[in-house]
Every structure is written in C-alpha cells, then in structure tokens.
Chains A and B, each alone.
Chain A
C-alpha cells in the first residue's frame, strides 16, 4: 500500500504535512496503478505545464503591487505569511485558468485573508470544545511555536481547547499549500478528490489511535464528530454532494461565505443565470451546514435562495429552503418568518398536501395572524376551502411579497374549478365580462382564450356586441379540464412526497447508496453551470473508474 509511508512521514514532525500531501500528488500522477485511470494522470500533466507558461494580466500585477504597498500592511500578518498566501492565491487562479475570471480589484488582499481566517477561529470559540480527542499534541505544538513565535502570542484559551484542525489552520502555514492543492482538486476533479479523501480516511483510522500522531485527522471530521472549520478562500464553489466527511480545505469559513453571498447577489442582478446561482447557493448552504453555522446569515442565505427559486418557479429547490427555514425560524435567528410562513401555506395549497397544510396551520401563532402576508395566505386558503372564488380572486389581485409567483401556480386550476361552479349555477348564459371580473382575468380576450383553450370555442356566442358563455353545455368540458389540471399536481405532489420519504432513511443507508447517486446528480447539475466540456470529463471519468 503506497499510502502508508505518506502517513508515517506526516506523523514525523520533521516533515510538514505538505510534503506528505505532495507525495500523494506524485503518486497520483506517476502511478496510475493507484486506481486512477491513465487518462486522469495524463490530464494532470498538461495542467502543470500550463502553469509554467502563464502570462500574468495587468490586474494581477496591480494586485500583487497592492499587496506589498506599505499602507496595506497589517501588523499582525508578517510579510512572509502574506507572501505565502499570495502565492497560493495566484497559483490557484493560474491552475484553474481563472486569472482572467477573478475580479482582482475586489479580491481581498492576502494579508486580509490570513487575518479573516484567524478572526473566524477567534470569533467561534464556543464550537471548539466539541473535539473529542484532547488536542494533546503538546510537543508538536511546542516545536511549532518556535518556528512561528508571532502567532502564539495571540494564543488565547480557545486554542487550548481547539481541535487539531484549528490548530493546524492557524499555525502551520506550509500546510496551506496542501489546502490549495485540495481546493483545486475540488473545483476540477472532485471525484478523484473524493476517492483520495476516502483513502486517506481509511489510512487514518489505521493509525488513528496513535497518540504520537498530532496530525491525525487533520481537520477531517466524521459525521458525528462535530463541525468542520473551513479554510477555503475562494468565493465561488461548485456544488458537489458530500459522500464522506467534508474536507476543511474546500469549505469556506463564514467571512468568505459572506463575501460569496454578496458576489452572488450581484451576479444574480446582472446575469440572472439561474443554473449557476442555484448551484452556488447549494454549495453555500453545504458549507454552512458542515460548519454548523446557524445564525442570521444562514437564514438570509436560505431566504434569498428561496426567493430566487420562487421567482424562477423552481419549486423543488424552494421547498428545500422552506423546510430548512422552518427549522431555523423555530430557533429565533431573525429573518422574515411571517413572509415565509405565508409562502408555505400558499405552497401547500398548490401541492394540495393537506397533512402538511395542517402542520403549517399549527405553526401559525396569534401574533403571526396580524401579519399582512400571513393573513392573506390564510384567507386564500379558507376562500378555496369554501369554494369562495369571488374572494379568492380578489385576494389574488392583491398578493403581498412574492406570493403571486406561488399563486400563479394554481390560479389556472382554480379558474377551472370556479367555472365548473359558475356553469352549473348560472343559466342559460353568462356574460364573459362577468367571468373576467370574477376570475381575475386581465381582459375579455384573455377570458375567451382561456375558454377556448380549456373547453371549446363553440361555447362562446356573440349577441349585441356582448360575448356570452353558454353555461349549459360548458359544465362537462370544464369538469374534464379541471380533473386534468388537478391530476398534474397529484403527480407532482407524489414526487415531492417521495423525496421526503427518502430523506427519512438513516444516515447509514445514505452512505451506502451514495457512491452511485452523486454521479447522476452531478451530470445533471453540470449542464446547469458553466463548466467546459473538459472539466466535465474530468469530473465523470474517475467516478466511473471507482
């Protein structure tokens, strides 16, 4: 097993973890026998050649200049530390061919990144006592202290309790190069990366009990171990469904996520590329989850994603956000609970999931009922339950927030339903003008079109310049159209339910099936995001080989 020496070196303080990782990378490139197909190895080679030929564009040059400008220096970050970080940023950009894509004007300076990383750890001491193993590597810490005296001066009690990865994160700068390597892998060859992670994980469990191994599980949390602390600095990240413990190198800490959200908001306004945005939001959510970040920011991420999904009619994604938001609101983290309680009610009207509707009603408090949106949604529900289409369409024309996107989903079907009643009750004809007004159509033409599309043109008759609907014959036709419209939702509803049941399966069974599921997942989502065909093949090939 070629991996064993790598780990023994990692355990020896004389070597830095980076070197251990490098040997991994070499193994990967030079020894396809590792289980990576030859094509994978070949792909990695041109990559490294590309790097040498890179021409740095002017924005990059100016970025570097700014890094060294005296007014931009931060006292707590030394020049070598900053240089180290800078190198990483540039190398990564070059390897990802993102030198032209990154907004260098806006990218934080490396010294700021370093500081953010530290602040993030400082700001979050509470989560540090989850570490199950005492962060014992006393001797290793002492040795590192000498190599890096500056940082331990800041060392506050949280460090003592901090888990290995935090420690690592803060102290050993050489290891950031390894992180970078991983970040690259994540963005381009996540599948291969996954396999690597898995193997390393196995390797770790072998020497996991050895107390002399301070670098054991360098920041790799198993699912029940506790939150990960991310150290990835790139703003954008493609979504990739986790199948094993997340790698902190590919997880963005809170400050980075905040900048990422700002970036996404801007991009959404400018480009409106939903596929890209959705993918980015999913990875954002994932990063929040694996780090157990639950705060107002988390709420706003879900809220924004939910609103965007609503706007685009992506109800599947919307529903996921809604489900999460319900849990988050229950913890009083801020946000806009009433707005989303209202959406939730409207959503269940659409899916006609009465069991869930009952739950939604149970969630509404007396206080909520004073809210305009909640009251509106409740009125819509009760109007429909009682067949009061008159009131329903009045409410439809006056919907607060983004509820209209949801109501649009079922307004057609309620029109059919109302027409069934109207045709039964009004005899022998009814003026089309009346239908237009009662059922919230924009014009008589629209009404006429609706009748023609759903029933028949023969039902309309012109008399003295008035168009009238022959209600006697129309009833049955509308009944059929109504039944068809409801059937569609039943099918959709069933699919939604199905996904709910899947989520009930235990953690264990998820990890069993996962090696197959993500493939389908990623191929589908790849079409949505901006990844060239080459990247796609990189993504897919290693998995197939697995």
Chain B
C-alpha cells in the first residue's frame, strides 16, 4: 500500500540538522527506532539535498571503518556493547558503499547501474540481518531499520529488473526451457528471499515479548506480500500465513500492533482470499480493513473498496450506494453502469458494461466475481416477469396472491427484450430452462420446473427470496 502508512515520513525532516553519523548518535541516545531507520534511508531529503553526498565524501574506502568507528561511536556518552558497535560499523560500511553506487547513478557516471545499487544494497540488508541474528544481536527497538532496508531493497530490485530488461536478457541458467517469468523478475525474486529472511528473523525471535522482534512481524509480512504480488506469486503468501498461524500463540493480539501494520495486513489477507474465491472470508478481512483504515488514506480506502464491493455483490447480492462511491470517482466510474444494469435486470446492458470495463476488471482481478452479478441481473429480470404476471383470481375473503405458475415462454420473451433477432441472442427454450434451473439451484428463486407442461411453479411465498416477493 502507500508509503503514507509506514509512519516514517514526518520523522525524516528532523534529521536533516546533522549528518548521517550524528543522526545515528541522536537516534541511538533517544532510543528511537524510526529515527534510526530514517538515518539508514538511502535518499536525500528536500531540506538536505546533499545528505548522501556529504556522507559519502566524509571518508574513503581505506579509512572507512576507522572513520565510521569514530564518527558513529565516539562522544555523546553512547554506551554500546563492543559486538554491537562492530555490527553498526559493518552496516554503515555497507551503507556507505551503497550510497557510492547511488551517487554514481545520480551523476550518470559511466559505470553506474541500478543493478550495482541493488547488489550493494543487498549487502546492507544482509549485514543488517547478520546484526540481528548473531548472538549479540541488535536491540529490538532498532527494528524499523529492518523494514526501511527491506523497503528500499524492493524498490531497487524493481528498478534493477527494469534496467536488466532494457539491456536484454542475461543468462538462461541451466533450465531446460527457454524462459519463464523467471528472468523478468530475477532481482525482485532475490529481494523476496532476503525479505523472507527478515520475516523469519522477526517471527523466530525468542526474546521476551517486550523486547521482541515479533513486533515487526506484520510490517515485514506486508512488505513480503507486496513483493509476492508484484512477482505474480500470490501462492507463496500461503506459506507466510501458515507460519504466522503456527506461531500465533506466541504473538501479541492483533489489536496490540500499530493499526497501520494491521490494516495493510488485513487488506492483503482479504485480497488473498478474494483471489481464491473465498468471498466470505475475504469480506470479513476487507471489512475490518475498511473500518480501521485511516480516513485520510484515500488510496488505501479506494483499494479496499475495489475488492470489497465485488465481494459484497457475491456474498450478499447488494450493490454500492451513490453515497459510498461519491468520494471515489474512479470506483464510481468502474462500478456504476454495472450496478445500474444489475438493478434493472438489463442483461444486454450488463454484458456491454462487462465488455466495456473488461480491461480494467481483468487488470484488477475482479472480472470473475463481477461476472457473477449476471445471476443477480437475471434474477431481477425474472422477478419482473413474475410481477408482471399479476394476481390470481382472489378466492372469497382470502388476500390476493400472485400468479405462481408462469409459462417458460414468458421468461424467454423477457430474455429477448433488447436483443436483436438474429445471431446467438436467439433464445431457445432449453436454455431458458437451464438459466431458471440455475437460479433455483443457487437459491435465487424458489420453485420448480414442470417440463412436460412448459411452466414454472413458483413458491406462493417468497418466490424470490430477500426481494420482498
């Protein structure tokens, strides 16, 4: 989801006061994870456009670790254990090298490449992971660093893949076949593996919960999901969910985590269920995300609705109101004509709206559930036929009841409305029966087909459940 969620944005500005190294000391003294993460952010800020360059120029390869040792760890009465000191020097050394590659790109240096940036950044990530996984591990409050490094790893990987693609493909590996999506996302897949290690790092921490890396679990999961979606391997998310479920007993309750982490997590879980056609579960998670999402996170709310609306259509046969869609013109445009057609029982219009929106629907992966709206449109059309049939002759004293025996031919006539007379839109009676039997099977109509007599016998009460008749 959007970066507005990660919560670091406001913090960055404060850091522009000092250099990267003093930023480290300040953050460490105040014990602020987000500040520390901001220090390890590989971009310059608007207030300090030379942030990276100043840092890169402050040392050179041969004196780097000495310089870092001094700049990071001296003065300001920092009390950092020796092993941890070394870890930070290693991390910042890798960071320094990565910054060098980034600056090369910025300067359009002839040897510059995003692939090189990615590789250098990968080293930062691995050094950081090592910092956490070694016996004298980095304290859990520094965890936002892990997320920030992971986040930029993903960004650099995507750009590196683009760069590699523009340069033409490299190796084929030893695979037997020509190609897969394999090559296309090689760097991002690599990044996914590293982020996966970060995830494990959080999940498998056995420290007491107050000082546990477990607090980073959902944030890392979200990053990982995002990456898996991008490389089109949604299936891999199942492993992650399984792992989280397996250790759910050791995890704090969802409510205890920052809402930003949980809303994103719920959104992804909802979409994962959605793609598996588990619309009931999907709806549950998406509704949660919808309710808890920050009201100003416009894009996120729009994303949630994109999936929640088709979900709702499938599970409850209800359509979005004008008020709901009013703030989201894009969604309004996406769903409005479809909704109108479903409501009116206009099959021809429905098919046209599906065709018109097909590209967008397919892109968002909502085509298949929306298609099911046709059943609702069909139900509404047949309901009109039923209503048009009027009432039986009222028997003395009894309240009038609707005509419940409807010839199949009347339904066929309804289907012909709005279609032209030739081509495939010609309706044959067997097909009408088939459509009717489906609605009955799906519980959208109550009654049965008496084939010999060519009529439908509808329930006297509730022939069309939940529609008032």
Binding site for B on A (CB under 8 A): 223-227, 241-246, 282, 285-286, 288-290, 292, 294, 298, 320, 323-324, 327-328, 354-355, 357-359, 361-362, 382, 385-391, 420-422, 424-427, 430-431, 434, 437-438, 497, 500-501, 503-504, 506-507, 510-511, 514
Contact = CB atoms under 8 A, between A and B. Distances in A.
B375 interface: yes
Given A223-B173, A243-B174, A424 B441 contact: yes
Interface in B69-117: none
A289 B175 contact: yes
Contacts of B451: 426, 430-431, 434
24 contacts: A241-B176, A242-B174, A289-B178, A298-B178, A324-B179, A358-B367, A358-B368, A362-B363, A382-B371, A388-B434, A389-B434, A391-B434, A421-B438, A421-B441, A425-B441, A425-B448, A426-B449, A427-B448, A500-B235, A501-B236, A503-B180, A506-B193, A510-B174, A514-B174
Interface string B253-286: 0000000000000000000000111000000000
A361 B442 CA distance: 26
Interface string B158-199: 000000000000111111111110100010011001000000
A320 B431 contact: no
Contacts of B234: 355
B362 interface: yes
B174 A424 contact: no
Contact of A386 (B275, B358, B438, B449): B438
B177 A289 contact: yes
Nearest to A426: B449
Which of A282, A288, A422, A430 has the most CB atoms of chain B within a 10 A radius of its CB?
A422
A357 B186 CA distance: 24
A427 B450 contact: yes
B367 A361 contact: yes
Contact of B180 (A327, A431, A497): A327
A245 to B, nearest CB: 7
B311 to A, nearest CB: 14
Nearest to B375: A386
A434 B440 CA distance: 18
B53 interface: no
B374 interface: yes
B436 A285 contact: no
A323 B441 contact: no
A497 B232 CA distance: 12
A438 B180 contact: no
B435 interface: yes
A507 B178 contact: no
A359 B364 CA distance: 11
A327 B179 CA distance: 7
B437 interface: yes
Contacts of B372: 385-386
Contacts of A389: 434
A364 to B, nearest CB: 9
A388 B431 contact: yes
B430 A438 contact: yes
B54 interface: no
B236 A425 contact: no
Given A224-B170, A510-B173, A386 B441 contact: no
Nearest to A358: B365
Interface of B: 170-180, 182, 186, 189-190, 193, 231-236, 275-277, 358, 362-363, 365, 367-368, 371-372, 374-375, 430-431, 433-438, 440-442, 448-451
Given A425-B448, A510-B175, 6 more contacts: A242-B176, A320-B177, A421-B437, A427-B448, A427-B449, A503-B180
A257 to B, nearest CB: 14
Contact of B189 (A243, A320, A390, A506): A506
Nearest to B363: A362
A289 B172 contact: yes
B178 A425 contact: no
A387 B438 contact: yes
Nearest to A391: B431
A513 B309 CA distance: 45
B172 A290 contact: yes
A14 to B, nearest CB: 35
Contacts of B236: 501, 504
B47 to A, nearest CB: 40
Q: Which 9 A-B pairs have the closest CB atoms?
A: A425-B437, A224-B171, A390-B434, A421-B441, A427-B448, A387-B438, A425-B440, A242-B174, A507-B173
Contacts of B363: 362
Given A358-B365, A361-B362, A426-B451, A390 B431 contact: yes
Contact of A357 (B358, B368, B375, B441): B368
A245 B368 contact: no
B178 A501 contact: no
A355 B365 contact: yes
Contacts of A390: 430-431, 433-434
Nearest to A425: B437
Nearest to B359: A362
Nearest to A301: B178
Nearest to A291: B172
Contacts of B178: 285, 288-289, 294, 298, 324, 327-328
Nearest to B431: A390
Nearest to A241: B176
Nearest to A379: B424
Given A354-B368, A430-B451, A223 B174 contact: yes
Contacts of B431: 388, 390-391
Contacts of A292: 172
A322 B394 CA distance: 64
A288 B176 CA distance: 9
B366 to A, nearest CB: 9
A438 B363 CA distance: 35
B259 to A, nearest CB: 29
Contacts of A354: 275-277, 368
A148 B1 CA distance: 66
A421 B277 CA distance: 21
B74 to A, nearest CB: 40
Contact of B368 (A226, A327, A385): A385
Contacts of A358: 362, 365, 367-368
A294 B171 CA distance: 14
A426 B180 contact: no
Nearest to A244: B174
A437 B451 CA distance: 14
A365 to B, nearest CB: 10
A242 B175 CA distance: 8
A172 to B, nearest CB: 27
B268 to A, nearest CB: 14
B182 A286 contact: no
A510 B375 CA distance: 48
A387 B442 contact: yes
Nearest to A293: B178
Contact of B190 (A225, A289, A434, A506): A506
Nearest to B368: A354
A403 B365 CA distance: 25
Contacts of A500: 233, 235
B427 to A, nearest CB: 11
A425 B437 CA distance: 5
Contacts of A434: 451
A438 B176 contact: no
A223 B437 contact: no
A327 B184 CA distance: 11
Given A354-B277, A426-B448, A285 B177 contact: yes
